[in-house]
Chain A
Amino acid sequence: MHDTIKKGDGGKMKKVYLDNGATTMIDPRVIKKMTPYFSDKYGNASSTHSFGRDAKQAIEEARAAIAKTINAKPDEIIFTSGGTESNNFAIKSIAFTNKDKGNHIIVSKTEHKCIMNACKWLEKQGFKITYLKVDKEGFVNPDDLEKAITKTTTIVSVLHGNNETGTINDIKKLAEICKKHNIYFHTDACQSYTKTDINVKKQPVDLITLNAHKIHGPKGVGALYIRKGTKIDIWQHGGAHEFDMRAGTENIHGIVGFAEAAKIAMNKKYIKHMSRLRDMLIEGILKIPKVKLNGPKGNKRLCNNANFSFKGIEGEAIGGYLDTKGIASSTGSACSAKTLESSYVLMAIGLSHQDANGSLRLTLSRFTTEEEIEYTLKVLPGIVNSLRRISPLWEE
């Protein structure tokens, strides 16, 4: 890539980071932008003195920059502590604020854990949740959504880009259905933000979760887009920050970093770069016998996501061997989960336990190089072979 930036531990061992779906390296340009806000312009944006005014100005500039990336108005952007907070804010607050209309919520079976666990909690509070099935590639069928809507439905939440399967749902179609039925539509766009178009003028989505650390920004900062006119109460109470919608002293350096990261990431050349390397990776890995790609191919897949199931071997073990070669990956295997359960997302697209446990996710970034993909493709077949040789489930 054109951005030549040194990564890893100073070259002792080759280090290849292919877990950008988990988090990303902060772009040095972002760090540079953030630095003055730690020790120079460190004011509280609520203060009226010059320090406070500097902070306030920085936040408002950042808000305008983030709004621009999705074609929204600045006052429709509320800064939060990240994707989890934005998701919790959206679904819980809409549910409670619109309780007089009904208590029914619709989500897909492949939402991120923060939506899933928020829904479990909402069920305990008396709300009814419908979990929409997805097809073999992870897509929600808009007809299924329309059929699930009842008179008491208040909000639908469907993930934009899936963190495991890379599936990009058609949020335009899904949002249009909700609009027709006068229901709020929320999407978690943490994985898809800047990697595929989000435009609130064209996609009638009411609420969008965004975050910084998946796009080479800092951890601990995100935003919730709330369309003007949406009936939603403050969820985190305190001072009158963020148009009185989210209390808490603003994370000024984080917000500044988030906006800078988003501005840089909006350059479409990065999508092209990541898509090309992703396809090179997919093509190379599918040459290994008895491997299948999980999720769709082409432009309906996140440009940085690849996910495979390897017959007869287990994902954490593959990741363990990759780690010894300096390659960072992740898996949907039960073995690596704190709950010891196979990924519910991979199960929802119809994988067997064995295939879900044999899954490996490799996620790229704009800093990923062709050489790193070549290196991965060089070491992976040997790892798969040696694990298969010791697997009781693999017959030559």
Chain B
Amino acid sequence: MYTEKIIEHFKNPKHAGEIKNPDAIGQEGNPQCGDIMKIFLKIKDNRITDVKFKTFGCIAAIATSDMLCELAKGKIIEEALALTPKDIINSLGDMPPIKHHCSLLGIKALKNAITDYKTK
């Protein structure tokens, strides 16, 4: 059902955790659908220098959260905003169609965080 890469990111998420004094926080999801993701950003000179996540969710939700962080790290805000669910899925190899919505969760949380940053 899951690719090896998904299982690897699920088992050893490199970006799981919290950032102390983050420059932005974004959250998405609700307990009813099963998934909630919270993302923490450090931003310097318009560039995402560090990113961490906390996720309540399944194997796919945790793996996509981790991959999103990997893709977002080092990018300038405009590039990060251009990330799509497809970018996450492609980077993970493949994902069962029923789990595709998990990748959207991360994208939305990231957008919410950037909105949070811009409105500060």
CB atoms of A334 and B10 under 8 A apart: no
A13: Cβ under 8 A from any B Cβ: no
- Contact residues of B between 47 and 93, Cβ < 8 Å to A: 53-62
Which chain A positions have C-beta within 8 A of B60? Answer: 335
Which chain A positions have C-beta within 8 A of B56? Answer: 312-314, 391-394
CB distance from B70 to the nearest CB of A (A): 15
CB atoms of B11 and A393 under 8 A apart: no
| 0/1 string, B9-48, CB within 8 A of A gives 1 | 0110100110000000001000111111110000000000
Which of A316, A340, A342, A392 is within 8 Å of B55, CB to CB? A392
Interface residues of A, count at CB 8 A:
25
A15: Cβ under 8 A from any B Cβ: no
Question: Once the chains are docked, how many angstroms separate the CA of A322 from the CA of B59?
Answer: 12
Which chain B positions have C-beta within 8 A of A389? Answer: 16-17
A20: Cβ under 8 A from any B Cβ: no
A5: Cβ under 8 A from any B Cβ: no
Which chain B positions have C-beta within 8 A of A201? Answer: none
A353: Cβ under 8 A from any B Cβ: yes
Question: Once the chains are docked, how many angstroms separate the CA of A352 from the CA of B36?
Answer: 15
Question: Once the chains are docked, how many angstroms separate the CA of A335 from the CA of B33?
Answer: 8
Which of B17, B31, B33, B35 is within 8 Å of A390, CB to CB? B17
CB distance from B5 to the nearest CB of A (A): 14
| Given contact pairs A390-B17, A392-B55, A334 touches B11 in the complex (Cβ within 8 A) | no
The residue among B7, B37, B62 with the most chain A CB atoms within 10 A of its own CB is B62
| Given contact pairs A320-B10, A338-B98, A391 touches B31 in the complex (Cβ within 8 A) | no
- Contact residues of A between 360 and 396, Cβ < 8 Å to B: 389-394
CB distance from B51 to the nearest CB of A (A): 14
Which of B16, B33, B37, B55 is within 8 Å of A334, CB to CB? B33
Question: Once the chains are docked, how many angstroms separate the CA of A321 from the CA of B56?
Answer: 14
CB atoms of A340 and B34 under 8 A apart: yes
A354: Cβ under 8 A from any B Cβ: yes
Which chain B positions have C-beta within 8 A of A353? Answer: 31-32, 34
| 0/1 string, A17-61, CB within 8 A of B gives 1 | 000000000000000000000000000000000000000000000
Which chain B positions have C-beta within 8 A of A335? Answer: 34-35, 57-61
Question: Once the chains are docked, how many angstroms separate the CA of A354 from the CA of B54?
Answer: 16
Which chain A positions have C-beta within 8 A of B11? Answer: 321, 324
A336: Cβ under 8 A from any B Cβ: yes
Question: Once the chains are docked, how many angstroms separate the CA of A324 from the CA of B60?
Answer: 15
Chain A: CB-nearest residue to B55: A390
The residue among A317, A324, A352, A354 with the most chain B CB atoms within 10 A of its own CB is A317
A333: Cβ under 8 A from any B Cβ: yes
Question: Once the chains are docked, how many angstroms separate the CA of A335 from the CA of B61?
Answer: 9
CB atoms of A317 and B57 under 8 A apart: yes
Which chain B positions have C-beta within 8 A of A316? Answer: 58-59
CB atoms of B31 and A357 under 8 A apart: yes
Question: Once the chains are docked, how many angstroms separate the CA of A342 from the CA of B34?
Answer: 8
Which chain B positions have C-beta within 8 A of A391? Answer: 54-56
CB atoms of B27 and A336 under 8 A apart: no
CB distance from B86 to the nearest CB of A (A): 20
CB distance from A307 to the nearest CB of B (A): 18
CB atoms of B38 and A317 under 8 A apart: no
User: 13 more A-B contacts (CB under 8 A) besides A392-B56, A393-B36?
Assistant: A314-B57, A314-B61, A317-B62, A320-B10, A320-B58, A334-B34, A338-B98, A340-B34, A353-B31, A357-B34, A389-B17, A390-B16, A391-B54
- A sample of 5 inter-chain contacts (CB < 8 A) reads A312-B56, A316-B58, A340-B33, A352-B31, A390-B55
* Residue ranges of B at the interface with A (Cβ–Cβ < 8 Å): 7, 10-11, 13, 16-17, 27, 31-38, 53-62, 98, 101
